Amino acid sequence: MLTNFLRQTATGLVTIVLLSLTACSGKTTDSAPFLTNIEAERVVNDYAAKNNEANANGDEQRLQQIEGDAMAIIDTAAISIRKNADPKPPPHQSFRLTDNQIVIIEAANYPRSFLAVAHPDVAKDDFDLTLLFQQQSATTPWKMIATIGVEKPQQAPKLRVNQEGHAELVTSPAGLATDPGKVCGALSDYLNADGNGPHVSLFAKDKILAGTLARDAAHKKALQQQGITVERYGYSHREEFPAPILRTAEGGAFTFCALERRARISSPAGFAAGNEAKALLGHGDLVTVMEQTGLGIYGLEIGGSSVTAIGAQGGLIRVTGTKK
């Protein structure tokens, strides 16, 4: 659920990070009407109201009507956990999205998309969300398909806009530190190599990714100290959730990655999963977390040669196996 951005949680056998993003960039040939900021603001407010309703009622189907792609997977699992991990879960904390800053992404055809930088009124003052909304066709609803939480001193991406005030899509990797169409796969490889490998120069300076590597190392060490064998621990890029690549004001690029982190573990004595893992699928030896990361790619024209993570989100989505 969207309110997961307020907490960083150890869930069963995995640690869940804060927020990140992904998006669908499927194309159609249907022309799209001009989207105004007033209409986009209405979409944001409608989303917040329906998100509160879905979470208050534990309604996964309702949530899937307003969220899509990796975001829907993460938040549907979060509702299942909340309903099943605790027989008397605390009431949902309703929220409003305030101080909305809307940037419409230029598009002559569907899908239509826009970014909204907003402040959740239940969060601390130095925390904002960057949300990606998309409508696939004239007959389908708007859905929030990606979000990252951005905590100061980190800042939400500042996008370059054209004369109409619309964000510009990046259509070529020219002038960038790396090809933004391949950066998510490179990020997955970098994390799988424990911060080593051919992509070190792109990611090594980033503090958020350094924290991800430290978290993973601590997680594996903690499992081993419990007598649990870590047979596999790795990332894969969920390519079925491609994201629009947007030009930043400084001449770089911004895009979103959806990664899946899996830990296959075993113990001769068996183990009991935590309450949240049990809520999904009982005991298990394959724990899967979906994570999203918003990446800024520096433009060579401003002297950059690396990639920085702006924010991240994730959640436990699956536990499989029969370990007791």
Q: List, as one string, the DSSP characters of 13-49.
A: TEEE---B--------SSB-PPPPHHHHHHHHHHHHH
- The tokens describing 239, both together, are 């390519």
* Count of domains observed in the chain: 1
Angle at 103 between CA 246 and CA 1, to 5 degrees: 90
Sequence-distant (6+) residues with CB within 8 A of 41 are 100, 102
Sequence-distant (6+) residues with CB within 8 A of 203 are 186, 187, 190, 195, 209, 306, 307
Angle at 23 between CA 17 and CA 27, to 5 degrees: 170
pTM for this prediction: 0.84
pLDDT for the residue 153:
76
Give the Å distances, CA to CA, from 136 to 24, 47, 96, 212.
Answer: 9, 16, 25, 33
pLDDT for the residue 279:
43
C-alpha dihedral over 276, 279, 281, 285, to 10 degrees? 20
DSSP 160: P
pLDDT in tens for each of the 324 residues of the chain? Answer: 454 544 332 222 222 222 222 333 444 457 878 899 999 999 999 999 999 999 999 899 999 999 999 999 999 988 887 777 677 778 888 999 999 999 999 888 899 999 999 999 998 888 899 999 999 999 999 999 998 888 877 788 889 999 889 999 998 999 898 999 999 999 999 999 999 999 998 998 898 999 999 999 998 888 788 777 888 889 999 999 988 999 999 889 999 999 999 888 776 555 445 544 444 444 556 778 888 888 888 876 555 668 989 888 888 887 776 544
Provide the residue type at 231 as one letter: E
Domain span at 134: 2-320
- The tokens describing 187, both together, are 């990020």
pLDDT for the residue 16:
24
Q: What are phi and psi of 32, to 5 degrees?
A: -110, 140
Give the Å distances, CA to CA, from 265 to 1, 65, 230, 235.
Answer: 27, 35, 5, 15
